Amino acid sequence: MEKVTATVEQQPELEHVAVRTELGTYHVYIQGKLASRRSSCVVVTIHDIGSNHQPLLSFSSLPCMAHITARSLNVHICLPGQDTGAQDLEQEFPSMQELSEDLIKVLAQLQLDQVILLGVGAGANIACRLAMLVPSTVLGIIALQPTAAAAGIMEQVKERTVLSNLKMSDYGKDTDQFLIAHKFGHLEEVHEEDVRRMVETYKTMLHRDINPRNLKLYVESYMKKPDMTEALQNSLRCDTLLVVGSQSSVAKTTMAMLKLLRK
């Protein structure tokens, strides 16, 4: 039987639990009291490539979110090797399907019986897969910039350059452009100073916090994701909210996903 272990660390208003499975260590950051999981709405977040739990933690900590966080338990999952200052992973990185299957064990370790999933990009893809695996556990999904299709030819071409740079432990201009386009969309005609500032802040965080070799593994896993359009149509049962920006690089594929789920 596979062994799953957890280490708990208390921080002011934030509980840190490290859940170890055969596929890696998941660092989980909990806003609120885990003991309230039976009486509160539980929101579990799953981050995108080129990121970790921190932006979603910051988002849920905004003053405008206070009335929601006061009534819910927010559980932020950081995928293996993506946490701030992580050492190089020594084992093979899980596929998107394997990550979703592994998260069942994480939820079980935390004794989370019913949850709402909030996933961004690659995290949204994982969330949809997880919801299909445990429909009795997942009450709903909020999917930001999701895509159900496999990576297209242009994505694969860009991926080769990005992975080549990250393999050398170097972000480089091409890698930055790829990840910025993935996160912010098409910015060629956007000149607002606040947007430019957000991009620079993101680049600083990326270079400072995310291990490039580990990021390479997550990007590679995301780009190799199998198409799940047919599975979604047949097996996704929970309420799902899709959110995508008009300038997003996946706007068309998200709209295609919406049409699919409406059938």
Two tokens, residue 147: 């895509």
CB-CB contact of 101 with 137 (8 Å): no
The residue assigned the tokens 């097996």 is 235
Q: What is the pLDDT of residues 141-188, one digit of tens each?
A: 999 999 998 876 566 656 666 666 666 556 777 788 888 888 988 776
CB-CB contact of 41 with 72 (8 Å): yes
Average pLDDT score, the chain? 88
pTM: 0.90
Closest CA to 124 of 258, 25, 19, 243: 243
Q: What is the pLDDT of residue 3?
A: 64
Interatomic CA distance for residues 131 and 123, integer angstroms: 12
Instruction: State the amino acid at position 111 in one-letter form.
Output: Q
First to last CA, the chain: 40
